[in-house]
Amino acid sequence: MKLGVLLGFALFGVFWGAWGAALPAVQAQANADDATFGGALLLIGVGALASMRLTGLLLDRYGRAVTPVVVVLFAACALAAGSAGSAPALAVTLFALGAMSGAFDVVINTAAVGYESATSRPLVSAAHAAFSAAVVAASALTGLARSAGATPLIIFAAVATVLCATTFAVRGITPPPTATHNPDLPPLTATHDTGPTTPATHNPAPPQLAIAHDTGPTEPTAIRDAGSKPATTRDPRPKRPAVHGLVLRRAAAIRRTASRGPASGHSARGRGRGRMPIQLLVFGAMGAVANLVENAQQSWSARHLEVTLRMPPQISGLGPSVFALATVTARLLGQAAAQRQISPRLVLATGGLLAAAGTATTALAPSAWICLVGVAIAGLGTGVCVPAILGAAGGSVPGERRGAAISTVMTVAYLGFAAGPAAVGLVAGHLGLRAALGAVAATAILLTISAPAVLPGRKPSPQAPHPPP
């Protein structure tokens, strides 16, 4: 399962690396101007927001059957986007692409968090590092392919082929749906108060279905197979009805479960259902801040180098590459921190501080090289934030609700990813790009401030699997 999760993240990175490098050719093929193309790109975010929550619910209900369907549809949408020959066709395919991209994102992140909860071994940071590394590699290969004359259709036909060829390799990353069961509660079995001398000869039950008889408060309940011989002696003491005894036993079990307090598994989960959506929204808001900072660097660092600092394209193009490499490094370090059981709140607080310092350095840099140092520092900071948030969110809910929880957090977090570039552009249009990036740096401080209040002091322990009912 671990290799399958890493492969899933790498495949996701392969597409987005190819997509970023092929964007100029996609725009030219669709004959779209900058304004039209920018509006079409926003539909990717709209489609992702529309599909993420639904995908989480489907994962909770159908488990691993969802994964191959999502992978194949994602491959088909990638091929369609690479073959769009007009702006309207591109807009339609980008909405569908965004929907399948969001679904695939939920599938792989739910699988990574599920692996951590099931094995108590960290994986989310390493998985995100695999994504970032694949982005860098796919971007370079796509650039070489374009230099050799490859069209967007050829590029994304190759990507779709890779996705489809690995469909069954990633099918097993999603665990089957988890059944909810409370072992403290006795089962509701069929009971007959016919007295211990009355054989259960009507409608004989199979051996595994037991028939319970209440023999009074001082004796344990006798459990007999339907085919066993009836007892030959009768207790002279008066007996309470069997149903009454069963109700009393269930009530006692419920009282015992409730008396254990918030840490008692199912009872705590049941009482926490009303609070869980608020907690997940907070996790999602923190993810939105992290995504806003990350996408601001990815989308605007090259332009800041080229327009503000007047660097040639071969230098300005280093901005996104340096940021991606720093992100890979940060996520590998985050994986090592998780293996050493370093507090998630410390990881997020440190990441937020580095992201703020790096983005501020980028905004105020007087030269290209100082700017690139700031980009690298920001990448080291933002790279650990989203994995820490997703890991904490997934560990806060039981397994049978993990898909819905992760999709909720990712849907809210994606708002920062989708709205970040537009927000930076709006501020830059009025105050300049330095001021816009300075505002992003101030926003990153929110991660450091909120981490101690929201994230746990230690990595959540895995939920033990429940026996089938």
Which residues make Cβ contacts (< 8 Å) with residue 227, sequence separation at least 6? 204, 207
pLDDT at position 252 is 52
pLDDT at position 198 is 42
- Rounded Cα distance, 212 and 225, in Å: 9
Over the Cα atoms of the chain, what is R_g?
28
**One domain, residues 167 and 203:** no
Domain termination site, one of 132, 149, 176: 176
- Rounded Cα distance, 221 and 217, in Å: 9
Confidence grade of residue 341 (pLDDT, cut at 50, 70, 90) = confident
- 186 within some domain: no
- 121 within some domain: yes
| Contact in structure between 321 and 298 (CB atoms under 8 Å) | no
| Contact in structure between 344 and 456 (CB atoms under 8 Å) | yes
401-427 burial code (b ≥16 CB/10 A, e <16): bbbbbbbbbbbbbbbbbbbbbebbbeb
- 429 within some domain: yes
**One domain, residues 217 and 125:** no
**One domain, residues 124 and 152:** yes
| Contact in structure between 451 and 349 (CB atoms under 8 Å) | yes
Averaged pLDDT, 327-343: 85
Cα-based distances in Å from 300 to 29, 128, 375, 446: 24, 22, 11, 21
Confidence grade of residue 440 (pLDDT, cut at 50, 70, 90) = very high
**Residue 400 or residue 318, greater confidence:** 318
**One domain, residues 199 and 93:** no
**Residue 31 or residue 344, greater confidence:** 31
- Rounded Cα distance, 241 and 253, in Å: 19
- Alpha carbons within 13 A on the beta-carbon side of 118: 19
**One domain, residues 231 and 159:** no
**Residue 314 or residue 66, greater confidence:** 66
Q: Which domain range does residue 146 map to? A: 1-176
Which pLDDT tens digit goes with each residue over 101-149? 999 999 998 888 888 778 888 888 888 888 888 888 888 888 788 888 8
**One domain, residues 167 and 200:** no
Q: How many domains does the chain have?
A: 3
- 245 within some domain: no
Q: Which residue is listed with tokens 């992100």?
A: 327
Instruction: Decide: residue 115, CB within 10 A, 0-12 exposed, 13-18 middle, 19+ buried.
Output: buried
pLDDT at position 172 is 60
**One domain, residues 127 and 229:** no
Domain termination site, one of 147, 176, 205: 176
Considering the entire predicted model, what is its pTM?
0.61
**One domain, residues 373 and 420:** yes
**One domain, residues 444 and 303:** yes
Phi/psi of residue 380, nearest 5 degrees: -65, -35
Residue 397 sits in a domain whose CATH number is: 1.20.1250.20
Confidence grade of residue 189 (pLDDT, cut at 50, 70, 90) = very low
- 443 within some domain: yes
Q: Which residue is listed with tokens 């600092």?
A: 309
| Contact in structure between 226 and 196 (CB atoms under 8 Å) | no
H/E stretch holding 256 reads: helix 242-258
Which pLDDT tens digit goes with each residue over 3-61? 888 999 999 989 988 887 787 788 889 998 867 887 788 888 889 888 988 998 898 88
- 330 within some domain: yes
Residue type, 306: E
Which pLDDT tens digit goes with each residue over 239-276? 545 444 544 454 455 445 444 444 444 444 444 444 45
- Rounded Cα distance, 109 and 458, in Å: 20
Percent of the chain clearing pLDDT 70 (strictly above): 72
| Contact in structure between 176 and 63 (CB atoms under 8 Å) | yes
- 189 within some domain: no
pLDDT at position 39 is 77
**One domain, residues 297 and 384:** yes
**One domain, residues 40 and 153:** yes
**One domain, residues 168 and 212:** no
